[in-house]
């Protein structure tokens, strides 16, 4: 991949790149819609992601090119004028990262030629945007010798997306991509930013990401709606319990207070967040004990909660999950990401992989009218210089 990138860089910029960087995509194994409720998430970094070749310039221009958006050509940005511009399309993500560095009072005294290539399926919910942010920030940190702490880079990536691009995401994506570790998942307490690694011992099994191939047009508006519903639940529960976030409650505590929330929809939203947080902690324990069967059961339970209490799945994701549950060799399967399209994540015994793909594809196409796409992924390291 490095050679492919260096060749691409040479063709576009007519010069040799000096360094190459990589940031993975991520998939969340369990712990969905808990991150903005102060709960736990359990993501891992993938072996697919965003590559970036770079060379310093003598002027103050940044020249951006992406093989994935080749039709847009080279997009030029002046270092003294880093502002959001809808015409700059995907470049607003790296621009937001440059702006974050500038906000620290750091002067970047020269520009760069930048060549990006990503092999994360676009729009699948595997965090291509956070991957672009972290590969950019790790590169800036290295190229300019900034010595910024890795967790600070993670926070800068989130701020770039929240404040510059205007997407109200939690910290999970940037954290998993910045802090990932090969063959490990990361249990992250999003409320306290405390984390621990869990060895992902799934020998004999594979992680299969299945893309519904439905573009997630609805996800953003519904995402904001769900956040607002959770905030409403929190305001009500705060009257009875001294908490700052829903996930500070145990499920038992919530059940004893749930009748205080009169609106059934608001009550269901809170139940999902709190029960999902508990499931995520139990999932880490199951992995530590080598109990994959229990881990899979919790994944399935997570999908049911996202379907019934949080209502963010939709026909495509529910079809994929139900089909996966019916296959031999499947330990567990659930939607992953914001919902309303995107992907499921399944743990499948290796000898059943081919059958899994054939059966799920055939039946999904019968119900939905088009085929899903499968990615057998492995768990890799976080963002780094290659």
Taking the domains of the chain in order of start, what are their residue ranges? 2-198
Sequence-distant (≥ 6) Cβ neighbours of residue 71 within 8 angstroms:
none
For residue range 120-151, what is the model confidence (pLDDT) as tens digits? 877 666 778 899 999 999 999 999 999 999 99
Question: Residue 329: which pLDDT band, with cuts at 50, 70 and 90?
Answer: very high
80, 113, 149, 173: the catalytic one is 173
Rounded Cα–Cα distance for residues 56 and 169 (Å): 31
- Single out the residue of 232, 300, 289, 235 nearest to residue 266, CA to CA: 232
In whole angstroms, how large is the CA radius of gyration of the chain? 21
Q: Is the pLDDT of residue 117 over 80?
A: yes
Give the strand order in the sheet containing 43-56. 75-78, 61-66, 112-118, 43-56, 19-28, 384-385
Sequence-distant (≥ 6) Cβ neighbours of residue 371 within 8 angstroms:
213, 361, 364, 365
Instruction: Over range 341-369, report the average pLDDT.
Output: 96
Phi, psi (5° rounding) for residue 82?
A: -90, 95
What is the DSSP pairing of strand 112-118 with strand 61-66? parallel
Q: Is the pLDDT of residue 218 over 50?
A: no
Q: What is the pTM of this model?
A: 0.88
DSSP state of 46: E
Q: Is the pLDDT of residue 217 over 80?
A: no
Residues 39/254, Cβ–Cβ less than 8 Å: no
2-198 has which fold?
A: Ribosomal Protein S5; domain 2 (3.30.230)
Alpha-carbon 299 to chain mean position: 17
For residue range 267-276, what is the model confidence (pLDDT) as tens digits? 999 999 999 9
Residue 318 designated active-site: no
State whether the Cα torsion 39-45-50-56 is positive or negative.
positive
Rounded Cα–Cα distance for residues 230 and 246 (Å): 8
DSSP state of 41: E
Identify the bridge partners of residue 50 per DSSP, sorted by sequence position: 23, 118
Question: Residue 216: which pLDDT band, with cuts at 50, 70 and 90?
Answer: low
For residue range 160-211, what is the model confidence (pLDDT) as tens digits? 999 998 887 778 889 999 999 999 999 999 988 899 999 888 889 999 999 9
Three-class SS state of 278: helix
């Amino acid at each position: 991949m490095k050679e492919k990138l260096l060749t691409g860089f040479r063709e576009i910029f007519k010069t040799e790149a000096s360094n190459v960087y990589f940031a993975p995509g991520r998939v969340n194994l369990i712990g969905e819609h808990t991150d903005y409720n102060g709960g736990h998430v359990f993501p891992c970094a993938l072996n697919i992601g965003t590559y970036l070749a770079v060379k310093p310039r003598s002027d103050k221009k940044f020249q951006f090119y992406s093989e994935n958006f080749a039709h847009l050509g080279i997009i030029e940005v002046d270092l003294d004028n880093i502002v959001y511009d809808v015409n700059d399309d995907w470049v607003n993500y790296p621009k937001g990262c440059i702006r974050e560095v500038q906000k620290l009072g750091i002067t970047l005294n020269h520009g760069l030629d930048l060549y990006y290539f990503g092999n994360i399926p676009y729009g699948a919910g595997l965090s291509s945007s956070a991957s672009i942010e972290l590969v950019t920030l790790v590169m800036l940190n290295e190229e300019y010798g900034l010595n910024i702490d890795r967790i600070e880079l993670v926070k800068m990536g989130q701020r770039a997306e929240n404040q510059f691009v205007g997407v109200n995401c939690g910290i999970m994506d940037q954290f998993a991509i910045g802090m990932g570790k090969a063959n490990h998942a990361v249990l992250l307490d999003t409320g306290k930013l405390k984390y621990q690694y869990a060895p992902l011992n799934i020998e004999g099994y594979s992680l299969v990401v299945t893309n519904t191939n439905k573009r997630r047009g609805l996800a953003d508006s519904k995402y904001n709606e769900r956040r607002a519903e959770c905030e409403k639940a929190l305001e009500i529960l705060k009257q009875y319990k001294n908490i700052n976030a829903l996930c500070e409650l145990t499920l038992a505590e919530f059940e004893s207070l749930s009748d205080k929330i009169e609106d059934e929809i608001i009550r269901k939203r809170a139940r999902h967040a709190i029960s999902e947080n508990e499931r995520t902690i139990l999932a880490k324990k199951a992995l530590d004990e080598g109990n994959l069967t229990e881990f899979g059961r919790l994944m399935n339970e997570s999908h049911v909660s996202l379907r019934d209490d949080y209502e963010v799945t939709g026909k495509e994701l529910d079809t994929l999950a139900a089909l996966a549950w019916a296959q031999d060799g499947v330990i567990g399967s659930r939607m992953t990401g914001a919902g309303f399209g995107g992907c499921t994540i399944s743990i499948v015994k290796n000898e059943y992989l081919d059958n899994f793909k054939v059966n799920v594809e055939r039946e999904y196409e019968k119900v939905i009218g088009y085929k899903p796409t499968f990615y057998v992924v492995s768990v890799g390291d976080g963002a780094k210089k290659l």
